[in-house]
């Protein structure tokens, strides 16, 4: 039976074709990929490529030792790139934590495995790209690693389920469509607002483009961010004096969540205390003149400091004054801050909202940038695609993301909603963790390796 299977090319062609159709045609929903059956047919039945190329290739390898060695390396590299690209696209990707926005849930130096099948892999907008890099070529900050000759519309394959409230999610940075190359740690829109506040709307934009190199990225080539989803489509979210409230209920407590506190002392706190609390050196901000610290603390670490004799007072740093840095950047109508925010309704696919000049700041980026309409305001009239509009129906679901390190996180409080087409996958587990404050091999956090992310 085994020998019959090996020798029956039609049986092998049928089985491989069925697997191909299920994986590449049915799952992706792309009928053009049926053309791949032609290649499979040639491999198992007609074998024209074998006659024209592979047989000659094998003969050259047999006759020429240099050619053989070279092609063995080429074949190995091509195979590795193809397999790795296939796995990264359909199943999972790797991501390293570069900032402390998710501490203590995720630490700087954690290497994550991100499941793409959790929510379904998204078909890339730019299928032509240099393999195994993101948006720029190696050793370059400006040379794009992809071509936009071919652009595919948003399409997500079937996954295990939708994004759930409380999931730790990796996504493409929504405000990363335009980038100031020389100031990568700041968003283009924050820099633009600063220029326009000083120089005026038109002159500010002109000067910004004159002073810096500005580049744009499609959705799948924007920088990857990782945050916790605290609001799903249809939710109403609010923050009151640092307390997160969703649909009228306090958000469940997150173990290891941090807030910023002012800690006043009559004597410095020893470094060993901070080491035991696992507070990184970069977060130990000491004001010698006042004998006080600015520290990000978990509830557990807060309780420990409260028992120390040299600690006089601990108070949370609650932001109550709107300064224009938080979404939707309209202090007059929405005087929100990082710790007092909302209430805000999160848009849901198919839902319709009444539009007016008051609530337009909440939805204008969705209408214009994310869903691709021409949005203009003339006097008191809102125009969408050239027609007056008094309402709008959303074409996608949207999410609200926040970091667990609440006072050291650039998240949805500052740049707004995350569209569904920006979702990359679910952060599943930590496969490696390296402590930035230590040297190898002491820097390996063995206890964090292969731990599930919650």
Angstrom distance (rounded) from CA 305 to CA 284: 14
Q: How confident is the model at residue 389 (pLDDT cuts 50, 70, 90)?
A: very high
Q: How confident is the model at residue 189 (pLDDT cuts 50, 70, 90)?
A: very high
Q: How many CB atoms lie within 10 A of CB 45?
A: 12
- pTM (2 d.p.): 0.86
Whether 422 and 172 have beta carbons less than 8 Å apart is answered as yes
Whether 395 and 345 have beta carbons less than 8 Å apart is answered as no
Angstrom distance (rounded) from CA 235 to CA 252: 15
Question: What's the residue count for the chain?
Answer: 454
Three-state secondary structure string covering the chain = CHHHHHHCHHHHHHHHHHHHHHHHHHCCCCHHHHHHHHHHHHHHHHCHHHHHHHHHHHHHHHHCHHHHHHHHHHHHHHHHHHHHHHHHHHCEEEEECCCHHHCCCCCCCEEEEEECCCCCCECCCCCCECCCCCCECCCCCCCECECCCCCCCCCECCCCCCCCCCCEEEEECHHHCEEEHHHCCCCHHHHHHHHHHHHCHHHHHHHHHHHCCEEECCHHHCCEEEEEEEECCCCEEEEECCEEEECCEECCCCCCCEEEEEEEECCCCCHHHHHHCCCCHHHCEEECCCCEEEEEECHHHHHHHHCCCCEEEEEECCCCCCCCCCCCCCCCCCCCCCCCEEEEECCCCCCEEECCCCCHHHHHHHHHHHCCCCEEEECCEEEECCEECCEEECCCCEEEEECCECCCCCCHHHHCCEEHHHEEEEEEEEEEEECCCCCCCCCECHHHCCEECC
Q: Give per-residue pLDDT as tens, 156-172.
A: 988 899 999 999 999 99
Q: Give per-residue pLDDT as tens, 252-278.
A: 989 889 999 999 998 888 889 998 898
In this predicted structure, the answer to whether residue 3 has a pLDDT above a threshold of 70 is: no
Average pLDDT over residues 284-290: 89
Best CA proximity match to 349, nearest among 370, 368, 328: 370
Q: Give per-residue pLDDT as tens, 333-353.
A: 999 999 999 899 999 999 999
Q: Give per-residue pLDDT as tens, 358-383.
A: 999 999 999 999 999 999 999 899 99
Pair of tokens at residue 247: 């649909």
Best CA proximity match to 37, nearest among 23, 58, 50, 56: 23
The more confident residue out of 142 and 7 is 142
């Amino acid at each position: 039976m085994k020998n019959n299977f090996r020798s029956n090319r039609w049986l092998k062609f049928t089985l491989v074709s069925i697997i191909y159709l299920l994986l590449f045609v049915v799952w992706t929903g792309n009928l053009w990929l049926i053309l791949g059956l032609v290649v499979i047919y040639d491999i198992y039945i007609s074998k024209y490529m074998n006659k024209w190329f592979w047989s000659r290739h094998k003969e050259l390898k047999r006759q020429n030792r240099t050619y053989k060695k070279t092609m063995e390396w080429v074949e190995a590299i091509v195979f590795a790139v193809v397999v790795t690209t296939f796995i990264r696209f359909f199943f999972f990707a790797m991501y390293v934590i570069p900032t402390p926005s998710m501490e203590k849930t995720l630490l700087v130096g954690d290497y994550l495995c991100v499941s793409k099948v959790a929510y379904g892999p998204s078909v890339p907008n730019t299928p032509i790209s240099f393999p195994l890099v993101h948006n720029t070529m190696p050793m370059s900050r400006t040379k794009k690693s992809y071509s936009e000759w071919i652009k595919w519309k948003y399409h997500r394959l079937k996954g295990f389920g939708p994004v759930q409230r409380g999931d730790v999610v990796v996504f493409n940075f929504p405000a990363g469509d335009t980038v100031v190359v020389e100031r990568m740690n700041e968003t283009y829109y924050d820099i633009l607002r600063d220029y326009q506040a000083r120089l005026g709307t038109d002159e500010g934009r002109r000067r910004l483009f004159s002073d810096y190199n500005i580049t744009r990225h499609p959705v799948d080539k924007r920088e990857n961010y990782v945050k916790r989803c605290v609001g799903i489509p249809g939710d109403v979210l609010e923050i009151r004096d640092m307390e997160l409230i969703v649909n009228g209920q306090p958000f469940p407590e997150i173990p290891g969540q941090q807030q910023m506190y002012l800690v006043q002392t009559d004597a410095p706190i020893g470094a060993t205390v901070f080491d035991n609390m696992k507070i990184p050196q970069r977060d130990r901000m000491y004001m010698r003149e006042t004998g006080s610290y600015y520290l990000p603390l978990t509830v557990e670490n807060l309780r420990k400091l409260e028992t120390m004799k040299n600690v006089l007072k601990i108070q949370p740093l609650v932001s109550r004054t709107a300064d224009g840095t938080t979404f939707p950047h309209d202090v007059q109508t929405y005087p929100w801050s990082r710790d007092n925010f909302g209430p805000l309704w999160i848009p849901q696919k198919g839902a319709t909202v009444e539009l007016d000049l008051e609530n337009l700041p909440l939805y204008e980026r969705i209408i214009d940038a994310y869903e691709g309409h021409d949005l203009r305001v003339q006097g008191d009239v809102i125009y969408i695609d050239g027609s007056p509009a008094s309402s709008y129906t959303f074409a996608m679901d949207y999410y609200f993301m926040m970091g667990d390190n609440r006072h050291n996180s650039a998240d949805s409080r500052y740049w707004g909603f995350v569209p569904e087409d920006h979702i990359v996958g679910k952060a599943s587990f930590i496969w490696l963790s390296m402590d930035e404050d230590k040297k190898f091999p002491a820097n390996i956090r063995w206890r964090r390796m292969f731990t599930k992310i919650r």
